[in-house]
Amino acid sequence: MEVLSKEELLLNKERYIEQIKKGALFIHPTDTIYGIGCIATQSRPVNNVRKVKKRDVMPFSIMVPSKDWIHKNCLVPKHAEEWIDKLPGPYTLIFKIKKGNHPVAKEVNNEWDSIGVRIPNHWFADFVKELGFPIITTSANISGEDFMTSLENLHPEIKVKMDFIVYEGEKKGYPSTIVNLSKEKTEIVSRSKEKDKK
């Protein structure tokens, strides 16, 4: 696994963009915790992430290039607009996918007709915007185990399967707040523990 700084990624971004397009698995930083990523529009790398995480069924969230991507591909009810206005930020927003749209590989959300989207308040979101397509973003851990906060506690089974990691030191955040906007009323599914620390 290649360890990259922000500067190294951006200096050689064309090379890493090509790797991602070809199905590379990688770990990336966000405004909350580190995530495992891959291109979300190809079945093979998504399935590889499932194998690494030992997560068979539950859908993955994605990091999207823009708010426009959300409006183009998701059903956005009026009560959801205030949450989209909070982006970029530490939120995962769940929307129904527009009928007939296939914005990601079916393995991302399996049988679900909804999807969780993120635009973190972090420089890596600008990199995804430049990619122009969504990536998987799921906590860097084996399902049910503690999530990675630094290279020292990255699970060895995950480490050997990653092509590279964009590393910026220890993260002391918590997973994002999950907001379900796929129903008639807004539902806070889980709230980030970030707020509890203050």
Integer Cα distance of 16 and 99 in angstroms:
33
- The answer, yes or no, to whether residue 197 has pLDDT greater than 60, is no
pLDDT in tens, 108-165: 988 788 999 999 999 999 999 999 999 999 999 999 898 899 999 999 999 999 999 9
Residues paired with residue 74 on neighbouring β-strands, in sequence order? 97
Secondary structure of the chain in the HEC alphabet? CEEECHHHHHHCHHHHHHHHHCCCCEEECCCCCCEEECECCCHHHHHHHHHHHCCCCCCCEEECCCHHHHHHHEECCHHHHHHHCCCCCCEEEEEEECCCCCCCCHHHHCCCCEEEEECCCCHHHHHHHHHCCCEEEEECCCCCCCCCCCHHHCCHHHHCCCCEEECCCCCCCCCCEEEECCCCCCEEEECCHHHHHC
CATH class of 2-197: alpha beta
pLDDT category, 101, cuts 50, 70, 90? confident
Predicted local confidence at residue 192, as pLDDT = 58
Output phi, psi for 16, to 5 deg. Answer: -75, -30
- The answer, yes or no, to whether residue 196 has pLDDT greater than 50, is no
Q: Which two tokens stand for residue 75?
A: 């059903």
Q: Please give the share of the chain, as a percent, with pLDDT higher than 70.
A: 96
- The answer, yes or no, to whether residue 171 has pLDDT greater than 70, is yes
- Does this model's pTM top 0.95? no
Predicted local confidence at residue 198, as pLDDT = 34
Counting beta carbons within 10 angstroms of the beta carbon of residue 62, is it exposed (0 to 12), middle (13 to 18) or buried (19 or more)? buried
Across 68-95, average pLDDT: 95
CB 155 within 8 A of CB 34: no
Integer Cα distance of 103 and 79 in angstroms:
23
Residue indicated by tokens 């959801």: 80
Predicted local confidence at residue 89, as pLDDT = 94
Predicted local confidence at residue 193, as pLDDT = 59
